[in-house]
Amino acid sequence: MCFLEKYVIKGGKPLKGEVTISGAKNAAVAIIPASLLVKGVCRIENMPHISDTDMLLTILKELGAKVRFIDNSTIDIDCTNVEFGNAPFDLMRKIRASYYLIGAMLGRFGKAKTTMPGGCNFGCRPIDQHIKGMEALGAEINVKNGFVYAAAPEGKLHGSFIYLDKVSVGATMNIILASVLATGRTIIENAAREPHIVDLANFLNSMGADVRGAGTDTIKVNGVESLHGGTYAIIPDQIEAGTYMVAAAATKGEVLIKNVIPKHLECISEKLRETGTIVQNFEDSVLVRASGNLRKVNIKTLPYPGFPTDMQPQMATLLCQAEGTSVITEGIYDNRFKYAAELNKMGANVNVEGKMAIIEGGHSLTGAPVMACDLRAGAAMVIAGLCANGETEIEDIHYIERGYEDFVEKLRRLGADICIAEYPDDTDKKDNVIAV
Ligand code: UD1
List pLDDT tens digits, range 166-208.
Answer: 999 999 999 999 999 999 999 999 999 999 999 999 999 999 9
Residue nearest atom 9 in ligand 1 by C-alpha distance = 436
Is ligand 1 within 6 A of the CB of residue 128?
yes
**Substitution site in 25, 100, 120, 125 for ligand 1 pocket (most atoms within 8 Å of beta carbon):** 125
Among 211, 215, 152, 153, CA closest to 185: 211
Cα 12 to middle of ligand 1, angstroms: 35
Burial class of residue 81 in the structure, from the number of CB atoms within 10 Å of its CB (0-12 exposed, 13-18 middle, 19+ buried): exposed
Res 85: pLDDT = 82
pLDDT over 90 percentage in the chain = 88
Is ligand 1 within 6 A of the CB of residue 127?
yes
**Helix axes of 169-179 and 195-206: crossing angle, nearest 10 degrees:** 10
Residue nearest atom 11 in ligand 1 by C-alpha distance = 436
pLDDT by residue (tens digit) across 395-408?
A: 999 999 999 999 99
Contact 325/388 with Cβ under 8 angstroms?
no
DSSP state of 300: E
Residue 120 neighbours by CB under 8 Å, 6+ apart: 434
Is ligand 1 within 6 A of the CB of residue 239?
no
Cα 169 to middle of ligand 1, angstroms: 6
Residue nearest atom 8 in ligand 1 by C-alpha distance = 97
Res 119: pLDDT = 42
Is ligand 1 within 6 A of the CB of residue 254?
no
User: Measured between alpha carbons, how far is residue 402 from residues 63, 108, 240, 280, 427 in Å?
Assistant: 22, 27, 12, 29, 20
pLDDT by residue (tens digit) across 351-361?
A: 999 999 999 99
Is ligand 1 within 6 A of the CB of residue 55?
no
387 in catalytic set: no
Atom of ligand 1 nearest to the CA of 435: 8
- Is pLDDT larger for residue 3 or for residue 244? 244
Residue nearest atom 5 in ligand 1 by C-alpha distance = 169
Distance CA 193, CA 200 (A): 11
Atom of ligand 1 nearest to the CA of 308: 14
Residue 360 neighbours by CB under 8 Å, 6+ apart: 325, 349, 350, 351
Q: What is the mean pLDDT of residues 410-427?
A: 92
Is residue 4 within a helix (H) or strand (E), and if so which, with residue range?
strand 3-10
* Among 42, 120, 267, 320, the one annotated catalytic: 120
Residue nearest atom 38 in ligand 1 by C-alpha distance = 170
Residue nearest atom 15 in ligand 1 by C-alpha distance = 26
Distance CA 211, CA 208 (A): 10
- pLDDT > 60? residue 434: no
DSSP state of 158: B
Residue nearest atom 17 in ligand 1 by C-alpha distance = 126
**Confidence band, pLDDT 50/70/90 cuts, at residue 139:** very high
Is ligand 1 within 6 A of the CB of residue 166?
yes
Cα 168 to middle of ligand 1, angstroms: 5
Is ligand 1 within 6 A of the CB of residue 238?
no
Q: How far is CA 118 from the centre of its chain?
A: 14
Indicate the residue type of 43: R
